[in-house]
Amino acid sequence: MNVPADLRYSTDHEWIRQDGNIVTIGITEYAQDSLGDVVFVEVPEQGLSVTAGDSFTEVESTKSVSDIYAPVSGTISAVNEVLDDQPELLNSDPYGEGWICSIELSDAAQLDELMDAAAYKALTEG
């Protein structure tokens, strides 16, 4: 399973890529594999305030509908509108073109609570 070392991870199987005060979020390869074929992504609304741990959008697959939880608190600054027409990008490129949104952090210290690649790998293999 691919677990890029340059990302942080939540226990809810979201990945986080930091660029200054902005983080980009998606679901991990483990999550997309568990979901099966993704058929719909509810892209969150730009400008929406989110709180770490709260559901802010959902993904529908051939197996189920799953909530996506905010790994950090802040304001959604960008959304991947390509997912409206190509939800399968979550399966084919979860760490690249399959990103869901970007969040402007309200508390950068929350990043310290997320897992590094080794800890996430231990969680998913455990």
pLDDT at 19: 96
Residues in the chain: 126
> pTM, whole model, 2 decimals?
0.94
pLDDT at 33: 94
- Domains of the chain (ranges; CATH) run 11-125 (2.40.50.100)
pLDDT at 126: 81
pLDDT at 1: 86
- pLDDT tens per residue across span 33-92: 999 999 999 999 999 999 999 999 999 999 999 999 999 999 999 999 999 999 999 999
Residue 102's closest CA among 82, 122, 80, 118?
Answer: 80
Angle value at C-alpha 105, between 102 and 111, nearest 5 degrees: 100
- pLDDT tens per residue across span 5-17: 999 999 999 999 9
CA distance to 9, 53, 85, per residue, from 122 (Å): 12, 21, 34
